[in-house]
Structure 1
Amino acid sequence: MSARKQARNPGGRPRDSRVDDAIAPAVLQLLGEVGYMRLTMAEVAARAGVGKAAIYRRHATKQEMIFDVLLPDQFLAVAPDRGSLRADLAAVLDEVAEAMTAPPQGTVPGLLADLHADPALRERFDEKYLGAQRRTLMEILDRAAARGELAARPDPAALNALLVGPVFAWLFLLSESPDRLPALTATLLDAVLALTARDPHA
């Protein structure tokens, strides 16, 4: 166990879930009110009605606290099984889009900027967020191959980039409306299937 993880749970004491349940809504409320850059752990503690020490036992930094609130353990933990490659990938895209659009404006870009400045936090992000996506995509591809849907099996990292990168660019670089995401995701799915699916007339 890393020193940072030990610091969040000294001596292996069981955590009080009521504190976690109070922290999460406080973080989300303050992100909406003051924004990512101005949010502080002291404000979260006051809003949640807990001591700062209780927060620091769980989260070494503000970034880790927000990271854990926005990306809970169940994020993409189960690969959807909707009966076809397109339907499975559509379900993944829906969850990814929800994760990007649900937080208050400015949260995701700010958090990602800080992730790249903190190697330890970036490692956790890769393991928890990217790792979950890759495992989910590999399971989806395995099922698609078993159904005979794949002409070629794409690299999971490349597939991940093809699915997630355009959504990120759409929302945070091009500043397009989230309401238009369904049209974008339909185009992405068409592109993926054109690269991977067998010709039904072959």
Structure 2
Amino acid sequence: MATTGRPRDARVDAAILDATRAILARDGYAGLTMDAVAEQAGIGKAAIYRRHATKQEMVFAAVIHEAELPVRPDTGSLAGDLTALVQEIVDHLTGPAASAAVLGLLADLGPDSALGARFRERFVTRELADIEALLDRAVERGELPPPPSRPDATTVHALVTGPVFAFLYLQRTPPDGLPERLGPLIAGALTVTEGPPGP
């Protein structure tokens, strides 16, 4: 009979992520190693690899989100849901650890197709499923048409993450009020319908 094995210790999970954030804030992305995280967390390196196959996965889990996402609350409107989603992204990307890690993390993922594929499977697919649920709620409310006319999750994912990244990392714009501006703007773009032809 198969066994499920010993459950993971949540304290070790937290220690790894806390150590990752601390090292990123202190030494930057280039200065972070599995050995340094193990020493900071006071654990063996094998415990890290049981949870995170690569440095990149560990960093993303520490500064953006872990593989499993919490259930997103229903705000009652598409604009409200998108505003809350943008706020989460802003919160994740503006911490000192994220600021130190994001550009280096993207550089690592770019040239390595295998690493990028695993990263997408572990993290991005969860984000897309989360947006699918958000869009399905908008369909149920009558704010969006059902598929195939409903906007696809990959497009909406780009519409919420791309502008935040551009404001924070390219324009270096303070994030104050950004969710309140972007959420309704994206909702308006998704719900616009073509009017009747002119005379």
Residues 83-102 of structure 1: matches in 2 within 5 Å? 83-102=76-95
Alignment pair present for 1:154 and 2:144: no
Alignment pair present for 1:117 and 2:121: no
Deviation at 1:85, TM superposition (A): 0.9
Q: Which residue, out of 114, 128, 131, partners 1:134?
A: 128
Residues 19-168 of structure 1: matches in 2 within 5 Å? 19-70=12-63, 71-75=65-69, 77-104=70-97, 105-150=99-144, 153-168=150-165
Letter aligned with residue 154 of structure 2: A
Distance in 1, Cα, partners of 2:113 & 2:96: 23
Deviation at 1:124, TM superposition (A): 3.1
Deviation at 1:30, TM superposition (A): 0.9
Deviation at 1:82, TM superposition (A): 1.0
Q: What 5-or-longer segments of structure 2 have no aligned partner? A: 194-199
Distance in 2, Cα, partners of 1:113 & 1:60: 18
Deviation at 1:103, TM superposition (A): 4.6
Letter aligned with residue 178 of structure 1: P
Greater helix percent: which structure? Answer: 1
Deviation at 1:144, TM superposition (A): 1.4
RMSD of aligned alpha carbons: 2.5
Identity %: 46
| CA-to-aligned-CA distance 1:51-106 (integer Å, 9 cap, x gap) | 2233234333322322232321343x423311111111111111121221225222
Contact residue 86 and residue 160 of structure 2 kept, 8 A: yes
Aligned to 1:6: none
Q: Which residue, out of 143, 155, 176, partners 2:173?
A: 176
Deviation at 1:29, TM superposition (A): 0.8
User: TM-score, structure 1 length as denominator?
Assistant: 0.79
Matched position secondary structure for 1:72: coil
Distance in 2, Cα, partners of 1:67 & 1:40: 14
Deviation at 1:13, TM superposition (A): 5.6
